[in-house]
A and B are shown apart, each in its own frame.
Chain A
């Protein structure tokens, strides 16, 4: 596998692992990490997270990744699945998303 691809996968897996930990430990999601699919809906039907969980996730983004965001419309679209949250973290690191 190409080195750039392997690095991208490693970075995404690292972020996904931390986010799965947040769901299990802070939001009391009773699932094994391997059962938490990266494209499963976080809110509504999927894992049925609520608005309090959303706040918890925002706090976790700050403490774990240093991502501090205002709700400027980005949050709602970027918190739909774990994969979209990973995209948000990566975009923040790359400077695509502004800092508060």
Chain B
């Protein structure tokens, strides 16, 4: 039962994990949309049943939470990573002046069970209904037993199930029982974090540092220019003079977090996040490099004497990119030919 086995399960089968890192807050009331519009760095254009992936920033534009804003008719759910529910409530309350809203901490009454993997959709169909196969990415629905948010941060099919705490043990047991024929594997946070790094998903619990904004973290797609939100002034200023850029890097040996990255004897960056990619057979890092050097496909860096090269993200070729619920299934997986999980190295 190693982390490598857990990671392999994320890449090839289906995994179940307690989503203890996730918080959920429900916003009711006539001012729900306007409240989120005030704090969302991204234009809040989302229909009922859809999720918007964005960030909560502090006034210095440092990401404090990785959030999905989920429109549920006249209400919204905020599914957040990086903040406890109490902090999400406080963050929202700080911006709710003059608005009629009710903030409900669903994390007190509910918890998340998370399914990930190229065949997670098939298990979910067993757990809920075959209709879920048509659930689009960044969509959600209410099942009598849970609310299912389709997001995922591993690059594979991912579903976060919000379950009432009094039903949690029974629901987990039911999923494990139904998952037996899919070789469902229970995994922990460590393998999930590695999968995020391999697929270049932003890890709000590990990547942020003081002074780094979405401009440096290559997260500008989660913002829209011309909007006023917490940290927007800092973003505008930083676009003119970024303090570096992140880029994925690969090495043959262990890379240490916060270690300096050198080029020709000069320090040109630092390691923000590091982990062993069992899928690739090397070590990966999210590196912060000087802006002029933050490009993929560059050789010649060193980190603690270890040779380092930058690579394009994501670092792997996710199986879920090819598994099509209309054509493939767990039962026929052996007869389905899929490309290798590691892209060819052309550098």
Question: Within 8 Å of chain A (Cβ to Cβ): is B334?
Answer: no
Q: What is the CA–CA distance of A91 and B298 in the complex, to the nearest angstrom?
A: 14
Nearest CB on A from B292, distance (A): 7
- State whether B312 touches A87 (Cβ < 8 A): yes
**Range of interface residues on A (Cβ < 8 Å):** 35 or more
Residues facing B in A56-100 (CB within 8 A) are: 73, 76-78, 80-81, 83-84, 86-87, 90-91, 94, 96-97
Complex interface: chain A residues within 8 A of B297 (CB): 8, 12, 83, 86-87, 90
Interchain CA distance A32-B137 in the complex, whole Å: 26
Q: Are B221 and A47 in contact (CB under 8 A)?
A: yes
Task: Using known A-B contacts A5-B298, A40-B218, determine if residue A77 contacts B293 with beta carbons closer than 8 Å.
Answer: no
Q: Give the interface SS of chain B, mostly helix, strand, loop or mixed.
A: loop
User: Contact at A40–B220, with CB atoms within 8 Å?
Assistant: yes
Set B53, B138, B220, B292: member contacting A37, Cβ < 8 A: B220
A84 → chain B closest CB, angstroms: 5
Question: Taking A32-B225, A35-B220 as contacts, is the C-beta distance between A8 and B346 under 8 angstroms?
Answer: no
* Contacting residues, chain B, for A5 (C-beta < 8 A): 263, 298-300
- Residues from chain B with a CB closer than 8 A to the CB of A13 are 295
CB of B53 within 8 A of CB of A45, answer yes
Q: Which of A39, A47, A78, A91 contacts B313 (CB 8 A)?
A: A39
Interchain CA distance A36-B297 in the complex, whole Å: 18
Is the pair A41, B292 in contact by a Cβ cutoff of 8 Å? no
> Contact size class for B?
35 or more
User: How many angstroms between the C-alpha atoms of A84 and B247 in the bound complex?
Assistant: 13
Do B296 and A87 touch (CB < 8 A)?
yes
Is the Cβ of A45 less than 8 Å from the Cβ of B296?
A: no
Complex Cα spacing A53 to B322, Å: 19
Closest Cβ–Cβ distance, residue B339 to chain A (whole Å):
5
The minimal Cβ–Cβ distance linking B301 to chain A, given in whole angstroms, is: 10
Q: How long is the Cα–Cα vector from A1 to B264 in the complex, in angstroms?
A: 8
- Are B346's CB and A96's CB within 8 A? yes
Chain B positions within 8 Å of A76 at CB level? 321-322
* Residue of B247, B264, B339, B346 touching A91 (CB-CB under 8 A): B346
Chain A residues whose C-beta falls within 8 Å of the C-beta of B200 in the assembled complex? 39
Partner of B296, one of A2, A38, A46: A38
Residue contact A90 to B313, C-beta cutoff 8 Å: no
Q: From known contacts A77-B321, A96-B346, infer whether A9 and B292 are also in contact, taking CB-CB under 8 Å.
A: yes
Task: Using known A-B contacts A76-B322, A77-B339, A94-B346, determine if residue A40 contacts B221 with beta carbons closer than 8 Å.
Answer: yes
B174 adjacent to chain A (CB < 8 Å): no
Asked if A45 and B312 make an inter-chain contact with CB atoms under 8 angstroms apart, the answer reads no
Q: Which residues in A have their C-beta under 8 angstroms from that of B246? A: 39
A-B contacts, 7 of them at CB < 8 A, read A35-B239, A39-B313, A44-B137, A45-B137, A77-B339, A87-B297, A91-B344
